[in-house]
Structure 1
Amino acid sequence: MDALLSLLSSFANQLQSPTLAFLIGGMLLAACGSKLAIPDAVYRFIIFMLLMKVGLNGGIEIRNADLAQLALPAVFAVVIGCVAVLLGLVTLGKLPNVKREDALATSGLFGAVSASTLAAAMVALDEAEITYEAWAPALYPFMDIPALILAIVLAKLAGKGKSGSKQNQLTAKQIIVDSLRSSALSALLLGMLIGFVVQPVELYEGFYELLFRGFLSILMLIMGMEAWSRLSELRQVAQWFAAYAALAPIVHGLIAFGLGYIAHITVGFSPGGVIILSIIAASNSDISGPPTLRAGIPSANPSAYIAASTSVGTPIAIAVCIPLFIALAEVVFPA
């Protein structure tokens, strides 16, 4: 009982973060019909800056990291991405009025990773004074790419069984290349490479680190407005998508927390790293995922999987899962 009360108390404290306030503020602005509009170019620039910061820090630290410690969390990240897709197929895909390709596209998006949610999680951990391996955010592509590949491959296999199906013939190699060339992963991997080779500590601390939280607050405002605007699209498809989008982030995060705990016991993965793994598992791709799935599963309805992710999945991941897994870690890993 004491552990439950401690969990609820910690969860309530985490809900008072500025990051969440900007997300809710954006939703309120959109709900009130505000004409505020932030150009798409600004949004993409902010994403680039946030991921460069994450990549630079990861690259600087990976140079001195124990790669054997990184291996098991990386393997678990791959497993989580694949399991998320398979769970979506056997749950959402079996519900009435849900097409198989729509279920696969949705589960692929929820198995992939959100850069914005990752950035919000890092700020929340810093505010809670929880340390984590600087390479933990680099688990991003290990979860993101396998989830997208598996969703598209399963959709292609299902499409071959339908007469007249014209599934886009993307190969696994093409999916990997397209994912690595996406704006999100390109920025993250470039930052990691520069951080690893050059070790630009002064540039990182004097520029990227200083701007990180300010840019993140603007990003949360944008995402709040986008989430509200997508609700109308979600109402046009089966309500099962909304239910799945509300539950999947929590379920995926709990699976990741369990595997992260195993990594903690076996290779010393830090509690903060377990939280990062859980939150990227709870997130759903908002940058690289949608265009990849549009190309790979063209018969899927974007109003189903993109609206489910943007209007429900992302707010749940940020507003519920971040404070939830920080609170859970404080109970499971007492100081």
Structure 2
Amino acid sequence: MDIIAGIAATLLDQLQKPTLAFLIGGMLLASLGSKFEVPEPVYKFIVILLLLKVGLGAGISVREAELSELVLPALLAAGVGIGIVVLGAVTLAKLRGVSQTDGLATAGLFGAVSASTLAAGMAVLDDEGIAYEGFIGALYPFMDVAALVTAIVLARLAMARRTTPVGGGTMALGGGQAPRLDKGLLRGILVDTLRSPAISALLVGLAIGLFADPASVYGSFYEPLFRGLLSVLMLIMGIEAWSRLSELRRVAHAYVAYGLLAPLVHGALGFGAGVIAHHMTGFSEGGIVLLAVMAASSSDISGPPTMRGALPEANPSAYVGTSTGLGTPVAILSIPLWIALAAQVVGGGA
């Protein structure tokens, strides 16, 4: 009963957080037939500002980290982000009735990182007196960007398979074999993804934060505006989500199961990566825990605007509802599990 009460309390807490509260507010407006709308140019401006802020913050974090200590954990974090999306592509996105684009967008958010969940993990470790690397916050952009780009590329490949005509030189069908895409089409989709407004804003912010010194404009402009702009974005996505809710009802059980189970599976992948780093570089017990927490979490900041900008075909009620509404509470509640497992692994190896 205590576990059930804890889950209920966490869910209630998440409903009161701005991300989910404004999403629900938008759905409520749409359900009441409100004529409220945000002009498309304003929406695009908000998305660009949000993603520039996320990229700048990530670049600043990476620049301030010790490069020699960062390399292996960063590569492992990126690998986990990609692995989570690939896993979602062969599970959720393959289920009957689940749109492949919606499934991949959802997997992309689960592969990306929730900064608030990471902060919660750090707070728990601080309370427990468990040390972790100072550069740990710099790992999240590696997992975050890798997962988002992978999800977008896979979703666009899937759309290309559905729309490219046979005989066009880019797809082959026959003998019961799956469609085959040539290297030119794959390269074109990858280039288009990197050039898309959402990913471009994220990457240029990352580069500026890494190679320049944008701390003053970051602290005086982007940081103060961020939460307010994010709330407007979630309101817009809530309105869109309501209009497309009927698409989700027939397969809601698939997203519920994924939202409840995926954080544990993904956290285990992150935990395994942390153990590898521990044995190879002496990565700390706390670092293992936080890598698992990052993998278990799902993005509530960089993910939604990136998916909305790069995959407008995807249904926000699927990917935001599943990640923030279900995945986040499970990820937060799983933090003690990773602490206990890390103590066993590190203690056993001592």
Higher mean alpha-carbon deviation, 130-139 vs 313-322, is at: 130-139
Q: 2:263: which partner in 1?
A: 253
Contact 1:231 1:311 in 2 (8 A): yes
Measure how far apart 1:272 and its partner are.
Answer: 4.8
Structure 1 residue corresponding to 2:103, chosen from 82, 101, 107: 107
Structure with larger Rg? 2
Aligned pair partner of 2:308 in 279, 284, 287: 287
Which deviations, in whole Å up to 9, do the C-alpha atoms of 1:247-295 show, x marking residues without a partner? 334444333211122233343446455444333479676335526xxxx
Indicate the residue corresponding to 2:215 in structure 1: 201
Would you say the 8 A contact 1:114–1:287 is kept in 2? no
Compared CA separation, residues 9 and 255, structure 1 to 2 (3 A): same
Conserved? CA contact 1:133–1:270, under 8 Å: no
Counterpart in 2 of 1:277? 295
CA contact (8 A) 2:26 2:235 kept: yes
Provide the rounded CA distance (Å) in 1 between the counterparts of 2:291 and 2:41: 32
Aligned CA distance change for structure 1 residues 127 and 263 (closer, same or farther; 3 Å): closer
| Aligned-partner residue type, residue 258 of structure 1 | A
| 3-state secondary structure, aligned to 1:161 | strand
Alignment check: 8 A CA contact 2:104 2:152 kept? yes
Residue in 2 that maps onto 1:145: 149
CA contact under 8 A between 2:271 and 2:292: conserved in structure 1?
yes
**Any idea what the Cα deviations from partners look like across 1:176-216, whole Å, max 9, x if unmatched?**
11111111111111011000111211211111111111111
SS in 2 for 1:287: helix
User: What do residues 93-123 of structure 1 show as CA deviations (whole Å, max 9, x unaligned)?
Assistant: xx3xx5xxx75444333333499x96xx335
> Is 1:229 aligned with 2:243?
yes
Q: Corresponding residue for 2:172?
A: 160
Question: What displacement does 1:168 show?
Answer: 8.4
One-letter identity of the residue aligned with 2:146: F
- Aligned position for 1:53: 53
TM-score, with length taken from structure 2: 0.72
User: Structure 2: how far apart are the matches of 1:140 and 1:61?
Assistant: 14
- Larger mean CA deviation between 132-141 and 6-15 belongs to 6-15
Counterpart position of 2:333? 327
1:51–1:184 Cα contact (<8 Å) kept? yes
Match of 1:36 in 2: 36
Tell me what 1:297 maps to: none
Paired residues, number: 304
Structure 1: gaps (5+ residues): 292-301
Unaligned segments of structure 2, at least 5 residues: 125-135, 278-282, 344-350
Aligned: 1:311 with 2:317: yes
Following the alignment from structure 2 to structure 1, what is the Cα–Cα distance between the partners of residues 23 and 89? Answer: 27
Compute the displacement of 1:57 (Å): 1.1
Segment of structure 1 superposing worse, 254-263 or 71-80: 254-263
TM-score by length of 1: 0.75
| Closer, same or farther: CA 136–230 of 1 in aligned 2, 3 Å | same
- What code does the residue aligned with 1:320 have? L
The answer to whether the 8 Å contact 2:59/2:208 transfers is yes
- Which letter maps to 1:160? A
Call closer, same or farther: CA 1:25–1:130 in 2, change over 3 Å.
Answer: farther
What pairs up with 1:294-305 in 2 under 5 angstroms? Answer: none
Q: 3-state DSSP class of the match of 1:133?
A: helix
| Alignment CA distance shift 1:270-1:16 (3 Å) | farther
Residues 225-244 of structure 1 deviation map (CA, whole Å, 9 limit, x = unaligned): 11101124557xxx24x443
CA 166–76 in structure 1, closer or farther in 2 if over 3 Å, else same: closer
Pair 288,24 (structure 1): closer, same or farther in 2 beyond 3 Å: closer
Distance 1:68 1:194, change over 3 A: same
Distance of aligned partners of 1:233 and 1:13 in 2 relative to their CA distance in 1, 3 Å threshold: closer
2:133 is matched with none
Quick one: distance in 1 between partners of 2:198 and 2:143?
14
**CA spacing shift, 1:82–1:128, aligned 2, 3 Å:** closer
Amino acid at match of 1:49: L
**Aligned pair in 2 of structure 1 residues 11, 59: CA closer, same or farther (>3 Å)?**
same
Taking the aligned partners of 1:105 and 1:162, their CA distance within structure 2 comes to 24
- Asked whether the equivalents of residues 59 and 135 of structure 1 are also in contact (C-alpha less than 8 Å), the reply is no
User: Alpha-carbon deviations, 1:9-56, whole Å to 9, x = none?
Assistant: 445444432322211111111111111111122222222111111111
Residue 263 (structure 1) aligns with: 273
Distance 2:257 2:120 in 1: 26
Q: Which residue of 2 aligns with 1:27?
A: 27
- Post-superposition Cα deviations, 1:61-114, rounded to whole Å, max 9, x if no partner, equal 11233222211111111111212111245x41xx3xx5xxx7544433333349
Structure 2 vs 1, CA of residues 151 and 228 (structure 1 numbering), >3 Å: closer, same or farther?
closer
For 2:229, the aligned partner's letter is: F
Q: How does 1:40-189 map to 2 (within 5 A)?
A: 40-65=40-65, 66-88=70-92, 91-92=94-95, 95=96, 98=97, 103-113=99-109, 121-123=114-116, 130=123, 133-150=137-154, 156=161, 160-161=172-173, 171-189=185-203
Report deviation, 1:332: 3.5
Opposite residue 233 of structure 2, the aligned amino acid is L
